[in-house]
Amino acid sequence: MSNVPVIFESIIHGELRPWLDSNKPDMKFAPMLSSVKTVNPTFPVLYEIEFNRPVDNKTKYYSKLILNETHNYCNRIVELINEDKNEQLMKYWLNDTLNKRLKTRIKEVGKLIHQNDYSMVYINPHKVSFDKDSDHKADTYIFQLLKVALIKTFLEIQEVFKYLIDDDVLIEEDFYTQLLNEPIPEKSYLKPVPKTIFIEEVVQVEDPKQSYSLIDNAFNSFTYKQLNTNPDYINDLYDGLKSNKFIADDSSKTEFKKIFSGKEITKPVIWTGTISDLHYFVKLIHNINKSVVDLKQHQWEVACKCFILSDGSPFDRQQLKEQKKPKSKSAILEKIASNLA
């Protein structure tokens, strides 16, 4: 699978360049509108684009094409990077995608906007200019939307794989100051998608004096995605961790299985490896292999519910989260964690 942004590249350099004579007739695009099928994201979306309405068939076609490609390309990259179980290869693909493929295209779009005077003023519905022809306005619309779409694509992929990025992540304003050489616009066309809010509900049980919050029980343990179809894989994981001394010799297989059931943990498993070993194990099953259901940044909290230190004391969530990949045991943990993949 390639990480080349084919559609974006074609609009900038290829047969989809809107200024080509073959792409000027507006009516050419009317029958093509239905050919662009909606692509749904397979990842948690960070932003949605709220751009000016297209004004003719050509801008409608390019708008649909560009907006669909933001999801299509992100879907491909998420799948491509997740195919690799080697963190170094994952980082290579991420770096190549963000810092070479996408940053290059953003710079190229910025350069074309400046060279061709594709200013937003020509498509601002409140400041309509009549001194430019319709072709120029359509091309302006397409490249201004493409600029926003490329920034969104970069931010979405960056967010999915933020745990693999060592340097500071970019925010929207950075693209204008670092790549586009433009002033930061007063209005952003990227609107944050509202995050899911867990509403607290108090549930009465037999004793009216007792109650519990759904928030407290929302993240009890890990939930293995193949729990119903391949539960025996958890046995293999248990054997691998036990034989390599990551969990105590007297660890109960029954209690261990509960860790991957999504249910409340009453008896945590003793982790006998190092804290960095546990950090990497959680990162493997949750972030890299994605063998368990996404816990929405609560994986470290859950890990502290599922595992305890040899002396029976709990792990510190923040300390566990901030650990680095262990050099000596990483290959062993990768092999063990692959039992759930």
Asked whether residue 154 falls in the same domain as residue 88, the answer is yes
Looking at the fold, whether 250 and 153 belong to one and the same domain comes out as no
The mean per-residue pLDDT over the stretch 202-206 comes to 40
Residue 220 lies in a domain: no
pLDDT digits (tens, 9 = 90+) for 77-127: 999 998 876 878 889 999 999 999 999 999 999 999 999 999 998 887 766
DSSP 35: G
Residue 277 pLDDT exceeds 90 = yes
Mean pLDDT estimate for the chain: 88
Amino acid at 76: R
Residue 309 is assigned to a structural domain of this protein: yes
> Is 243 found in the same domain as 184?
no
CB distance 221 to 306 below 8 Å = yes
Q: Are residues 177 and 278 in the same domain?
A: no
Does 303 map to a domain? yes
Condensed to tens digits (0 to 9), the pLDDT of residues 143-173 reads 999 999 999 999 999 988 887 887 778 999 9
Provide mean pLDDT across the span 178-192: 91
pLDDT reported for residue 211: 37
Return the SS3 of 212. Answer: strand
143/44 same-domain check: yes
The answer to whether residue 89 sits within a structural domain is yes
Tokens (6 digits) for 222: 């890990």
For residue 222, being part of any structural domain is answered with no
pLDDT of residue 209: 37
Q: What percent of the chain has pLDDT over 70?
A: 90
Q: How far apart are CA 309 and CA 8, in angstroms?
A: 51
If asked whether residues 17 and 164 sit together in one domain, one would say yes
Q: Are residues 44 and 161 in the same domain?
A: yes
| 48 touches 191 (CB < 8 A) | yes
Q: At what angle do helices 330-337 and 275-282 cross, to 10 degrees?
A: 40
Integer Cα distance of 181 and 178 in angstroms: 6
Average pLDDT over residues 329-334: 94
Q: Would the pLDDT of 208 be above 70?
A: no
131 plus 246 within the same structural domain: no
Q: Give pTM, 2 decimals.
A: 0.61
147 and 52 inside one domain? yes
User: Token pair for residue 170?
Assistant: 């970019």
Cβ–Cβ < 8 Å for 141, 59: yes
Whether 276 is in a domain gets the answer: yes
The token pair that represents 214 in the structure block? 């759904």
Task: Write out the residue range of the structural domain in which residue 38 sits.
Answer: 6-192
Report residue 106 as tokens.
Answer: 């953003």
List 192's β-bridge partners, or say none: 47
Question: How many whole angstroms separate alpha carbon 242 and alpha carbon 264?
Answer: 22
Distance CA 239, CA 241 (A): 6
Predicted local confidence at residue 129, as pLDDT: 56
> Does 257 lie in the same domain as 170?
no
**Regarding beta strands 190-192 and 269-270, do their DSSP bridges make them parallel or antiparallel, or are they unpaired?**
unpaired
Residue 207 within a domain: no
Residue 208 lies in a domain: no
* Count of domains forming the chain: 2
- Shared domain check, 169 and 86: yes
Confidence of residue 22 (pLDDT cuts 50, 70, 90): very high
Residues 300 and 175 in one domain: no
